[in-house]
Amino acid sequence: MAIVQHEFTKKIIEILNCYFPSQGNAILNYSELLQYLNIKTKAANRGSKSRAGLANHYAIYVLVEDYLNKKFHLQNNYEDYEGVQFSVLLRRQRELPFGSKLQNHALNHRLNEEFKKYFPTSVYVPIIRDVKTNRYWLNENLIKIIVDYTQINIAQAVKDIIDAYITARQEAFDEFIVYCQEMLVIQQQELTRAIEFIRGLLRPNIDARVFEIVSYAILKEYYADQHIYWGWSSDVLNAEYLTLYKTGRTNANDGGIDFVMKPLGRFFQVTETIDVGKYFLDIDKVQRYPITFVVKTEQPIQSILNKLMEQATMRYKVKAIVRRYIEAVEEVINIPELMNRFDSVLERGRGTVVIEEIVLQSRVEFNPLLLDKEVK
């Protein structure tokens, strides 16, 4: 059977390799239980938007944990074990992260049913239960497997894998959601505290969506103070302030231009790093529209530009083309520069406006997602 490959699969194999050096891959191939877990951990790196679905994971987890606690992986008498009481298992499930509202279904029925669905030909189901005594066991046949003529016990690895999955989910949840919630209530805080919070967001490892919103709010207000004069003849001039527009929802906008400025028509792109090839694919053939990059880094602007120059030189050699590359980068704004501009906005007493904008944008972006989490 072909094994589904996804982000977390690597992690699973890595954990297996810890216990059984260089056999990780083979073990995954032999173990239906591990394959099941592999299928059920697809959501690990899918970001904070998707729901975890931990019920079946935890059903396995609490049984494996009981198995390990009582050292059955070291002895050979699980056959004689009286089994675990249902309420003990359920209580433990509910102690685990995101498990507070779990119910009986996984243990009673659903884990086994789902397992059968994925492995219709398997002789075993993961959970064994005695309806008379209400006791539960793990199916040891799925825990003790034979690889290369040797019997191994994967109980500890199974527990570690589920732990790793929980950690991955929790990190995504914490980092992201906490910021979003904070951004939604930020107005109610004292202005100085709110400002400090925003400063704290301006760092390289912040979530990209959060960074985009914060940079937009700061830049919008920064440019709002500047105006230009234009007109159809030199004696009739209009004064117009620079306005920055967001071109779409952060989530929905992959690859597109993030902000546009009127009336100058500047394009802004928020990125982690400037990858020349990505934005100026065919620059050698066509003239490219200049872009201002807002880069989520603290590296000095000059060194970003140098790196850019290097990349371009390596790629194209010809000086004229390299120059066109650099010309297509209208401006680079890094985190320190963003911070400067934020300061100058604050000096004009416009901090509140920036915060209002952040709250507004956060609502548009994150509200549906927060409502869900708020219940937890």
| Residue 45 sits in the site that holds DNA (CB under 7 A) | no
**C-alpha distances in Å from residue 88, one per residue of 60, 319, 349, 357:** 14, 72, 59, 49
Q: What is the largest CA-CA distance in the chain?
A: 99
Chosen residue from 10, 49, 249, 278 binding DNA by CB under 7 A: 49
The minimum distance between CB 94 and DNA, in angstroms, equals 10
Q: Would the CA dihedral through 184, 188, 189, 190 be positive or negative?
A: positive
The minimum distance between CB 37 and DNA, in angstroms, equals 12
Measured between alpha carbons, how far is 222 from 220 in angstroms, rounded to an integer? 5
Beta pairing, strands 135-138 & 84-85: antiparallel
The minimum distance between CB 149 and DNA, in angstroms, equals 35
Part of the chain binding DNA (CB under 7 A), chosen from 43-51, 156-164, 197-205, 210-218 = 43-51
Tokens of 253: 């906008």
The minimum distance between CB 84 and DNA, in angstroms, equals 9
Which residues, 86 to 115, sit near DNA by CB under 7 A? 86-87, 90, 101-105, 107-110, 114
The minimum distance between CB 86 and DNA, in angstroms, equals 4
* Residue partners of 206: CB distance under 8 A and separation at least 6: 179, 214, 296
| Residue 372 sits in the site that holds DNA (CB under 7 A) | yes
| Residue 308 sits in the site that holds DNA (CB under 7 A) | no
| Residue 140 sits in the site that holds DNA (CB under 7 A) | no
Part of the chain binding DNA (CB under 7 A), chosen from 23-31, 54-62, 66-74, 222-230 = 54-62
| Residue 52 sits in the site that holds DNA (CB under 7 A) | yes
Measured between alpha carbons, how far is 136 from 286 in angstroms, rounded to an integer? 69
Number of residues located near DNA, criterion CB under 7 A: 29
CB 11 within 8 A of CB 164: yes
The minimum distance between CB 150 and DNA, in angstroms, equals 33
List alpha helices for the chain, DSSP H.
7-19, 24-30, 32-40, 55-69, 86-95, 105, 111-118, 155-185, 191-201, 208-224, 276-279, 301-316, 319-328, 335-347, 351-374
Q: Using the minimum distance from each CB to DNA, give the nearer residue, 104 or 299.
A: 104
Part of the chain binding DNA (CB under 7 A), chosen from 15-23, 44-52, 63-71, 284-292 = 44-52
Binding residues vs DNA (CB under 7 A): 40, 43, 49-56, 85-87, 90, 101-105, 107-110, 114, 117, 129, 131, 134, 372
